[in-house]
Amino acid sequence: MSTPEIEIRRSSRRRTTAKAYADRGRIVVEVPSHLPEDVAEETAAKLVARLRSRETHLRDDEDLAARAREVADRYLDHLVDGGISPFTIRWVGNQRQRWGSCTPSTRTIRISQRVRTMPDYVLDYVLVHELSHLAERTHGERFRLLESAYPHAERAKGYLEGYTAGAGWEPADG
């Protein structure tokens, strides 16, 4: 992975904590506006290191597949006759305004690279959603039952809605 550009933004809305996130290939670090410059740079370096270690932690398709199997085992297998497997899963870069997609006929799941740097509970929610489509194509009652087996679904949806609004996207559903 190449070294991303880092931008430090001073925000008057931030009071005590700093925040780092990926934005169009750069890493943006928001720091409280009153923070001295050397402290801001040190804080930014720490947050960027943490963000990047999370990225490399879930770097390749194999890691993603392992995580998806874990999520299927923990939340969904007991709700589906014979379990949720088999499936194949990979990261993709071209999911416009979608977090993931599922093709039940080939049991293939694709997850947007954008999700890779999001918190684990958000990735797990996206996995639960797409894995649930292996058992149920529509977003009907059975689907909602499967998805609700994941305890952090509402929080994760809130995170994704916030991201969608922040990026100025129209909401889309995979």
Positions touching Zn ion (CB under 5 A) are 174
Residue 104 C-beta: closest distance to Zn ion, Å: 11
User: Which residue's CB is nearer to Zn ion, number 62 or number 173?
Assistant: 173
Spatial separation of the C-alpha atoms in residues 128 and 112, rounded to whole Å: 14
Residue 112 C-beta: closest distance to Zn ion, Å: 13
User: Which residue's CB is nearer to Zn ion, number 30 or number 130?
Assistant: 130
User: Which residue's CB is nearer to Zn ion, number 51 or number 80?
Assistant: 80
* H-helix segments, the chain: 37-57, 61-71, 120-135, 141-147, 153-166
Tokens of 135: 């058992």
Residue 74 C-beta: closest distance to Zn ion, Å: 20
Contact 100, 109 (CB under 8 A): yes
C-alpha distance from residue 140 to each of 25, 127, 136, 143, 158 (Å)? 36, 18, 8, 5, 20
User: Which residue's CB is nearer to Zn ion, number 119 or number 174?
Assistant: 174
Which residue is at the shortest CB distance from Zn ion?
A: 174
> Which amino acid belongs to residue 81?
D
Residue 129 C-beta: closest distance to Zn ion, Å: 6
